Amino acid sequence: MISRRNFVRYSAFGLLLAATPKKASFAKGSLRRYKFVAEPTPHPFDNKSIATNLWLYNRQNPGPLITAVKGDTVEVEFLNNLNQPTTIHWHGIRNINEMDGVPGLTQAAIEPGGRFLYRFPVKDPGTFWYHAHNRAWEQVARGLYGPIIVYDSDEKDNGRDVLIVADDWLMDKDEQIDEDSFGNLGHWSHGGRLGNALSINGMFGPSVPVPSFGVARFRFINAANARVLEFAFEGRHQMRVISVDGSPCRNFITDKIILGPAQRLDVEIEQTSDLTNLLEISTSQPLVAAKFEPVISISDKYRGVSGHEPYYNQPSIKNAKIIDIHMQGGAMGNLSSATFNGKVRELRDLAMNDSKIWAFNGEIGGYDFTIAEAKLQDTIILRIWNDTAWRHTMHLHGHHFWVQSREFGQKKRQLLRDTYLMHPGERTELIFVADNPGLWLFHCHMLEHHASGMGGLISVA
């Protein structure tokens, strides 16, 4: 495990202001075309002479920003110039199943030199992201991810969006990706592969341009493999949370935010003129994440998005189908054996010979493990017990679910999410309408946990 001391010593933080596309408005129902190439790319995280060898989309970290308007269709022509097969998953998009990007489930893996055309509608406005989904524990850690912003039909360019894509990197002494740590069972059986340097929008340590006055919307994305991040504005300025995992929510005020891997959070700051520093506060020793640099505001017309409704209301659970999921495994756990490929085996045997460490209901998960079968329009309750010693961010593909969130202090909040951060020992219910047909993955987005058994399928027929 990387110690917090090393994380503090090596971490550098940066933040870039990402203005919205340079158009006054968008025509609803447009086709948004992009071309992506995944390839090895040297990337300078700062002004040092040493570049780190990453795998990137279009030689950018993060990858290209995809923008669209609710009702548009996104088309991505993809070329794989890596030496491994890969796919792209469009995280948080309530996608059509064949475009979901899960290799061996919704599509064949795209081989080196191969091409694939992704084409799907976007029916929800919000903050999303995309990332590699083959050997994600390695490919995402090497840099294969990027942001997506879908605007509502009444939203226009205002120059007051601040896009914050956070990631941590496990680097060696030569400032390269620590390749020897990939597949490390210590990481896989504990909290996941934690890094020792933190980037935001692909940079270490730059000043952050923010509008010199007025309201701004900060769109946070945690692209890390496993690290849970906490952010606050110096002086503990209050933030209005307006959206979680893309979906608008009943607004609430907080002075800090917690982001598990793959989660997104949109907040509004009412007055940017007195912002100084962004802090990372996951330990008792706050770290200066970035210094804010005021710039002349592009527009003073943005007045916030308070009052927007969630994607759908919480459904009635009168006739809901209940699916019990007992999460076990990992270090300091209580799982001694589990079923894998139809055979019960000791956990030590599974770990040493197959790198399998986690289980749902006593079964090592995978793309051939069906957790539940549902009919179209069924209301489903995933009744989950995190009976492990570790946190897990549980992600459901193709859907959003309602949850009584414990992520923002003592008070529970009813939120519509696609990724939920569960604490050790927590029991909760994820409630959703199975309105999207297909085979959908449900898994932990601590990517090492997923690779070592914490995942399975929900079939909607």
Residue-level pLDDT at 20: 33
**Boundary residue ending a domain (133, 150, 167):** 150
In a domain, 313, yes or no: no
Q: Are residues 43 and 115 in the same domain?
A: yes
Q: Are residues 27 and 13 in the same domain?
A: no
A 10 A CB-CB count for 256 gives 15
C-alpha dist (Å) from residue 199 to 166, 236, 260, 284: 6, 22, 16, 20
Two tokens at 144? 């294969």
Q: Where do we find the tokens 């002004």?
A: 47
**What's the start-to-end Cα distance of the chain, in Å?**
43
pLDDT tens sequence for the chain (461 residues): 233 333 333 333 223 333 333 333 444 589 999 999 999 999 999 877 789 999 999 999 999 999 999 999 999 999 999 999 999 999 999 999 999 999 999 999 999 999 999 999 999 999 999 999 999 999 999 999 999 999 987 676 577 888 999 999 999 999 999 999 999 999 999 999 999 988 989 988 777 788 888 899 999 999 999 999 999 999 989 999 999 999 999 999 999 999 999 999 999 999 998 898 888 888 888 888 788 888 876 555 555 555 578 999 999 999 999 999 999 999 999 999 999 999 999 999 999 999 999 999 999 999 999 999 999 999 999 999 999 999 999 999 999 999 999 998 878 999 999 999 999 999 999 999 999 999 999 999 999 999 999 999 999 99
Compute CA 227 distance to the chain's CA centroid, rounded to the nearest angstrom.
11
Residue-level pLDDT at 283: 80
Residue-level pLDDT at 111: 98
Is residue 373 within a helix (H) or strand (E), and if so which, with residue range?
strand 370-374
In a domain, 104, yes or no: yes
Residue-level pLDDT at 365: 95
Instruction: Report d(CA 192, CA 195) in Å as an integer.
Output: 10
Q: Are residues 104 and 166 in the same domain?
A: no
Q: Are residues 47 and 136 in the same domain?
A: yes
Residue-level pLDDT at 7: 36
Specify the number of domains making up the chain: 3
In a domain, 44, yes or no: yes
In a domain, 98, yes or no: yes
Task: Supply the CATH number for residue 444's domain.
Answer: 2.60.40.420
Instruction: Report d(CA 85, CA 225) in Å as an integer.
Output: 19
In a domain, 315, yes or no: no
Q: Are residues 259 and 360 in the same domain?
A: no
**Exposed, middle or buried, 410 (CB in 10 Å: 0-12/13-18/19+)?**
exposed
Number of continuous H segments (helices) and E segments (strands) in the chain: 5, 32
Residue 320's φ and ψ, nearest 5 degrees, are: -70, 150
Q: Where are the beta strands (DSSP E) in 303-461?
A: 321-329, 337-340, 343-346, 358-360, 370-374, 379-386, 392-396, 401-405, 413-417, 419-422, 427-433, 438-444, 455-460
Q: Are residues 79 and 181 in the same domain?
A: no
DSSP bridge partners of 246: none
Residue-level pLDDT at 298: 56
Q: Are residues 261 and 293 in the same domain?
A: yes
What domain range is 452 assigned to? 321-460
Taking the CA of residue 162 as centre, how many other CA atoms within 13 Å lie in the half-sphere pointing to its CB? 25
In a domain, 244, yes or no: yes
C-alpha dist (Å) from residue 434 to 84, 93, 372: 34, 15, 11
Residue-level pLDDT at 27: 46
Q: Are residues 390 and 336 in the same domain?
A: yes
User: Which residues, 6 or more positions from 3, have their beta carbon under 8 angstroms from its beta carbon?
Assistant: none
Residue pair 252/290 in contact (Cβ under 8 Å)? The answer is no
Q: Are residues 13 and 41 in the same domain?
A: no
**Boundary residue ending a domain (249, 277, 308):** 308
In a domain, 316, yes or no: no
In a domain, 254, yes or no: yes
Two tokens at 265? 């959070």
Instruction: Report d(CA 398, CA 433) in Å as an integer.
Output: 11
**Boundary residue ending a domain (110, 131, 150):** 150
Q: In what order do the strands lie in the sheet with 392-396?
A: 370-374, 455-460, 438-444, 392-396, 419-422
Instruction: Report d(CA 296, CA 304) in Å as an integer.
Output: 19
Q: Are residues 143 and 184 in the same domain?
A: no
Residue-level pLDDT at 296: 72
Closest CA to 396 of 164, 176, 63, 94: 94
Two tokens at 194? 């934690």
Q: Are residues 304 and 356 in the same domain?
A: no
Q: Are residues 283 and 337 in the same domain?
A: no
